[in-house]
């Protein structure tokens, strides 16, 4: 989708994020979850769907159509992926960083936790709280979210 949106306007490419001592790029994407509160029969069907969605063939297809990095390493060994990166070498760049990268933890209250950290940083940076006050507040708030 980046390629089609840029076509005729400007060129683009992938690169690592800037780093000081150690390359440690973030990886992110759309979340797919399976609820544990649904009936067993729905869990079985949901699990089968997740296995299908994450299969090498399907994750390769998804990656080729969206520009997202495949969700499993075996997708990088499929004939479709290898043909794709020969035609568009840019697509192989982000996967080179997988070994050094990380993704956010995903507790169910992750967005609230992230908001807490943002609020704490803002209050410290704008001198509403000391660093110690901000950290103490954030620790309490985050622990409350994790206890939910």
User: What would the pLDDT profile of 15-71 be if each residue is shown by its tens digit?
Assistant: 777 777 777 787 777 778 888 899 999 999 999 999 999 999 999 999 999 888 898
Q: Is 114 in the same domain as 91?
A: no
Q: How many domains does the chain have?
A: 2
- Contact indicator for 107, 146 with CB cutoff of 8 Å: yes
DSSP count for the chain of H helices, then E strands? 6, 2
Q: Is 87 in the same domain as 123?
A: no
Q: Is 52 in the same domain as 115?
A: no
- Contact indicator for 25, 101 with CB cutoff of 8 Å: yes
Domain extent, residue 127, equals 110-147
Give this prediction's pTM.
0.64
20 vs 85, more confident: 85
Report the alpha-carbon distance of residue 148 to residue 144 in Å, rounded: 7
Q: Name the 3-class secondary structure at 103.
A: strand
User: What would the pLDDT profile of 94-105 be if each residue is shown by its tens digit?
Assistant: 888 888 887 877
Q: What percent of the chain has pLDDT over 70?
A: 99
Residue with the two structure tokens 């794709």 = 84
Q: Is 8 in the same domain as 62?
A: yes
Q: Is 95 in the same domain as 121?
A: no
- Which is it for strands 26-27 and 102-103: parallel, antiparallel or unpaired? parallel
């Amino acid at each position: 989708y980046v390629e089609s949106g840029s076509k005729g306007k400007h060129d683009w490419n992938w690169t690592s994020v800037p780093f000081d001592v150690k390359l440690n790029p973030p990886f992110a994407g759309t979340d797919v979850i399976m609820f544990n509160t649904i009936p067993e029969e729905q869990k079985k069907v949901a699990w089968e769907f997740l296995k299908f969605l994450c299969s090498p063939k399907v994750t390769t297809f998804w990656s080729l159509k969206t520009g997202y990095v495949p969700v499993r390493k075996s997708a990088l060994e499929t004939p479709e992926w290898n043909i794709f990166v020969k035609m568009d070498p840019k697509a192989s760049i982000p996967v080179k960083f997988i070994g050094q990268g990380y993704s956010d933890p995903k507790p169910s209250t992750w967005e609230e936790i992230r908001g807490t950290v943002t609020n704490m940083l803002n209050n410290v940076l704008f001198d509403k709280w000391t660093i110690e006050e901000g950290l103490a507040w954030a620790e309490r708030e985050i622990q409350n979210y994790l206890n939910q």
